[in-house]
Amino acid sequence: MKKSLTAHAAGTCVLVTLLLFIKSYLFYSHVNLAGFHPLFAVLTAGIFLFLWSALSLLSQKTAKTVMFTVYVILSVFMTIDAVYYSYVSKMPSAAMIPMLWQATGISDTILNLLKPYHMAMLIDLPLWCMRAANRDEEKIRENLLDRIARRLQAVELRRGVIYTVSFALCGCTLLTACLWPGFEPEYMANELFCYHIRDFYTVAKDSTTDRIVDKSLYTAGSQADSKYYGIAENRNVIVIQVEAMQNFVIGAVYEGQEITPNLNRLLTKDTFYFDNYYYQIGGGNTADAEFAVNNSLFAPESEAAYVKYTENTWHGLPYLLKDRGYSGAHAFHNYISSFWNRETAYPYQGFDSFTSLEDFEQDDMFPMGLSDKSMFRQSMEQLKTFGEPFYAFYVTVSSHHPYAIPLKDREIVLKPEDEGTLFGLYIQSMNYADRAIGEFIEQLDEAGLYENSVIALYGDHYALANTDPANSTRVAELTDGQYSIFDVFNVPFIVHVPGCGYAETKSVAGGHIDVMPTLLCLLGIDNDKTVMFGQNLLEAETGFVCEQTHVAIGSFISDEVYFKKPYNNIKANYDAYSRADMSRFDPDLFREQSDYAKNRILDCAELLADNDILLD
Torsion of CA 532, 545, 250, 436, to 10 degrees: -40
Q: Are 291 and 314 in contact (CB under 8 A)?
A: no
DSSP-based three-state secondary structure for 269: coil
Distances (CA, A) of 395 to 17, 208, 500: 48, 33, 26
Identify the DSSP state of 39.
H
Q: Give the angle 550-551-557 at the CA atoms, nearest 5°.
A: 110
Question: How high is the pLDDT of residue 141?
Answer: 46
Instruction: Give the type of residue at 54.
Output: A
The number of beta carbons lying within 10 Å of the beta carbon of residue 118 is 19
Residues of the chain with pLDDT under 70: 1-11, 98-114, 128, 130-174, 177, 206-208
393 residue type, one letter: F
What 3-state DSSP class applies to 225? coil
Residue-level pLDDT at 283: 87
Q: Residue 50: its pLDDT value, please?
A: 80
* DSSP element (H, E) containing 98: none
Residue among 282, 99, 96, 114 at smallest CA distance from 196: 96
What is the DSSP track for 356-392?
Answer: -GGGS---SEETTEE-HHHHHHHHHHHHTTSPSS-EE
Q: Is 208 exposed, middle or buried (0-12, 13-18, 19+ CB in 10 A)?
A: exposed
Cα distances (Å, whole numbers) of residue 118 to 17, 45, 74, 85, 191: 19, 19, 13, 11, 18
- Residue 298 is classified by DSSP as P
CA-CA-CA-CA torsion sign (404, 407, 408, 410): positive
CA 168, CA 176: separation in Å to the nearest integer? Answer: 12
pLDDT at residue number 307? 93
User: pLDDT (tens digit, 9 = 90+) per residue, 400-450?
Assistant: 988 999 999 999 999 999 999 999 999 999 999 999 999 999 999 999 999
Taking phi over 0 as left and psi of -120 to 50 as alpha, with beta for the rest, 321 belongs to alpha
Q: What is the pLDDT of residue 110?
A: 62
Which residue type sits at 459? G
pTM recorded for the entire structure:
0.87
Q: Dihedral of CA 487/81/95/337: which sign? A: positive
